[in-house]
Structure 1
């Protein structure tokens, strides 16, 4: 789910980068719902369908769907989430935590139909709207499930070659998806050679702590900085074991660009790669703290349902 605070009037020009004239196109509210977790709005601004969540009188864009082509990823950071494809030792199973309108998961399913793609979304209403308006449907090797991501992983025995984390509610990442204990659960569900890609907002005070926390469990960290026309996003790729060298990544990127039906070239993305040393105080604040659960995991799991609900 895309994290960016924008008023809808600026959405097309700022988020989609389709120009000031397009921002004046007629916008139609297709449906709104007040779910247990979100105030959800679905708009149409041809050719796009846009899902937003309301928070403090602002609208946060969660997903953008090009109705003319279901393999277009209009928001740049979503394209770079697929950079994980060149890091994974193999690509047979992919898990996404934070589905939103399901655009990244669906793109990967359409591009790699033989890989098993599982997308987890907390809010059942969001999943229902993604099926209704965003071209998402149940197919072989593509599964949608309404669950909390941490609970799902804690109760699963499956392992994945790629785990994508893009779980936001408005401007916030749920606390239980930011801790060292959570990333340890994620690591435990990675197959050999597995990799994690996560959308991390660089404009939050917790950015340095978030990166340091990831690095406490998955020491190899690389950044892909993207721009949506109004601000920057950081896609963080993290993994265990030896560093993937640039030449090796280039070889894999070229091979998988040819092997898979990819709209967005992995080889082109590689040019944006930046290695991160979490011990380098010029890159990461030395005072940043590793985020941890402050109570027993069983209590954490019991509290998730209550925590996930909307604030009054």
Structure 2
């Protein structure tokens, strides 16, 4: 079976960077080459890219499946420190389905909609990563921007929108622009929040920051220094909740977070309102979204 997998991945062109891993599954979808690999106790989803070492999109620790492996996934839970209750959650980008399944347990009353453009990703999430839909979790196979446009036309609104779509190299450029974020804002409730998974070390850092500020005003950066992880936490309100309130919420969430191996105080200390970018940076628009800046040297 393993030799068969090697032959398949050679045909798909994904073996060059994955030969050292135990390849569990490979397939070529409409959008990308996808692999599921095993490394020690971790089972991981990989989107093939032009990079020598493509980043893992999702990992599950098979010895403790609820434990959140990635820092960025933990940082997304900053949304709960800012807004402890949410009835309707929208997740753009599925990966292995870790976030919807975690939020389902943390928020027992919430309805969660996951939007994923690639049906192969959804299929793999179900087959390998225990992603399960039910009356509280729904999956829509559609481009995230198209979904939000249609949601606005149908007057749908969400308390919390999580932007977590990646194509393997970076965020799809049409999900980074001012026009897109304005559409996102249209489907937010009055006290709704957005948590967007981006990178603090990207050449687009200042452009992205200026773009979010142009739509939402001041926002919190939630990030780890000296890593690539950065969550933009923006709100539909003109003023941000003060840090002491967020700290109080962190203390309330700690027991629930323990199940997932998450330290809520660690997340709290990643919050900063600091504007550490050039506020005169150009705003990303549908006409100006420089793809050449998506990759670092």
After TM superposition, the score normalised by the length of structure 1 is: 0.79
Aligned counterpart, 1:235: 231
| CA shift in 2, pair 1:231/1:273, >3 Å | closer
Aligned counterpart, 2:90: 95
Aligned counterpart, 1:180: 178
Aligned counterpart, 2:204: 206
Q: Distance in 1 between matches of 2:135 and 2:64?
A: 20
Q: Distance in 2 between matches of 1:175 and 1:272?
A: 26
Map 1:111-150 → 2, pairs under 5 A: 111-150=106-145
Aligned counterpart, 1:292: 285
- Tell me the secondary structure at the aligned position of residue 38 of structure 2: strand
- Paired residue for 2:99, among 98, 104, 110? 104
Aligned counterpart, 2:245: 248
Q: Distance in 1 between matches of 2:18 and 2:68?
A: 19
Aligned-pair distance for 1:217? 0.7
- The answer to whether the 8 A contact 1:111-1:262 is kept is no
- Tell me the secondary structure at the aligned position of residue 73 of structure 1: coil
- The answer to whether the 8 A contact 2:210-2:279 is kept is no
Report whether the alignment pairs 1:27 with 2:21: yes
Aligned counterpart, 2:148: 153
Q: Deviations over 1:47-71 (max 9, x none)?
A: 2111111112532311111223332
- Tell me the secondary structure at the aligned position of residue 48 of structure 2: strand
- Tell me the secondary structure at the aligned position of residue 60 of structure 2: strand
Q: Distance in 1 between matches of 2:133 and 2:84?
A: 27
- The answer to whether the 8 A contact 1:97-1:121 is kept is yes
Q: Distance in 2 between matches of 1:233 and 1:89?
A: 22
Aligned counterpart, 2:57: 62
How many equivalent pairs are there?
Answer: 267
- Tell me the secondary structure at the aligned position of residue 69 of structure 1: coil
Aligned-pair distance for 1:140? 2.4
Q: Distance in 2 between matches of 1:207 and 1:268?
A: 23
Aligned-pair distance for 1:232? 2.4
Q: Distance in 1 between matches of 2:182 and 2:117?
A: 20
- Paired residue for 1:169, among 153, 160, 167? 167
Q: Deviations over 1:253-272 (max 9, x none)?
A: 33344678863243441122
- The answer to whether the 8 A contact 2:23-2:35 is kept is yes
- The answer to whether the 8 A contact 2:97-2:129 is kept is yes
- Tell me the secondary structure at the aligned position of residue 44 of structure 2: strand
- The answer to whether the 8 A contact 1:250-1:270 is kept is yes
Listed as ranges, the gaps of 5+ residues in structure 2 are 1-16, 289-297
Aligned-pair distance for 1:104? 1.5
Q: Deviations over 1:50-103 (max 9, x none)?
A: 111111253231111122333211011110101111222731121111111111
Aligned-pair distance for 1:162? 1.0
Aligned-pair distance for 1:8? 5.0
Listed as ranges, the gaps of 5+ residues in structure 1 are 1-6, 10-25, 278-282, 296-312
Q: Distance in 1 between matches of 2:139 and 2:92?
A: 10
- Paired residue for 2:218, among 217, 220, 225? 220
